[in-house]
Chain A
């Protein structure tokens, strides 16, 4: 199974600043995704990180606020820009592993718990 490392695991950020979260997968994966999980809620997809091209954003999320990079098949970053207290959430990176023998499985990183003060 793919192992996903995400950092930082936790941070306290000042209002108005930006923070970049890194996601590293130990194997090449077909798709990578970024999710947000606000306190007490389920996961909401922010965007699909596309290798070598612009990310595909879901409704309610824009590139200026959540720029995403994916320079290769194993690495992606998510930046939360100009943060406000409403951005306090857990941000999770996930990856779709597609094996010929067993099909698709989705794995998650440990999450990055951001608190904006």
Chain B
């Protein structure tokens, strides 16, 4: 069975600084996808970034980038130039095609002015 672990329940960062959120996972599949979602107080689940397991290149979306270490089954999210609007819960998730999306426990990120 697939599992996703986020070892940091809460983190804080100063505005304009860089922060890295950790995620490890376990799966027996070779074809899967990894996602980071942001959930602000509005409760909307917003897709931040996705990574296909077969791609070695780390995904990047503007200020958000990942460090995907397939052998170590690690998928961390780096947020550069943190903004107050980045304050939210962040969930790491694993999807095996045709299966279900498995979530980590979440990391609450607070960006401080």
User: Once the chains bind, are B52 and A106 in contact (CB under 8 Å)?
Assistant: no
Q: Which A residue's beta carbon lies closest to that of B45?
A: A108
In the complex where A90-B43, A111-B43 touch, is A104 in contact with B95 (Cβ < 8 A)? yes
Supply 7 A–B pairs (Cβ within 8 Å), ascending by A. Answer: A45-B101, A48-B100, A90-B43, A103-B33, A103-B97, A105-B50, A106-B47
Docked-complex contact A33 and B91, CB < 8 angstroms = no
Interface check A110, CB cutoff 8 A: yes
- With A45-B100, A106-B47, A111-B45 known, 13 other A-B pairs at CB within 8 A are A31-B98, A42-B91, A42-B103, A43-B45, A94-B45, A96-B101, A98-B97, A104-B33, A105-B50, A106-B93, A106-B101, A108-B47, A111-B43
CB of B35 within 8 A of chain A? yes
For residue B47, which residues in chain A have a CB less than 8 angstroms away from its CB?
1, 105-108
Residues of B within 8 A of A92 (CB): 45
Chain B positions within 8 Å of A, measured between CB atoms, are 33, 35, 37, 42-45, 47, 50, 52, 91, 93, 95, 97-98, 100-106
Q: Which residues of A contact B (CB under 8 A)?
A: 1, 30-31, 33, 37, 41-43, 45, 48, 58, 90, 92, 94, 96, 98, 103-108, 110-111, 113
Question: Is chain A's interface secondary structure helix, strand, loop, or mixed overall?
Answer: strand
Q: Is there an interface contact between A33 and B101, defined as CB atoms closer than 8 Å? A: yes
* Cβ contact within 8 Å between B97 and A104: yes
With a CB–CB cut-off of 8 A, which chain A residues contact B37? Answer: 108
Which residues of the other chain, B, contact A96 by a CB distance below 8 angstroms?
Answer: 95, 101
Take A103-B33, A106-B47, A108-B44 as given contacts and tell me if A42 and B95 are in contact as well, using a CB distance cutoff of 8 Å: no
Q: Which residues of A contact B93 (CB under 8 A)?
A: 106
CA distance A43 to B103 in the complex (A): 7
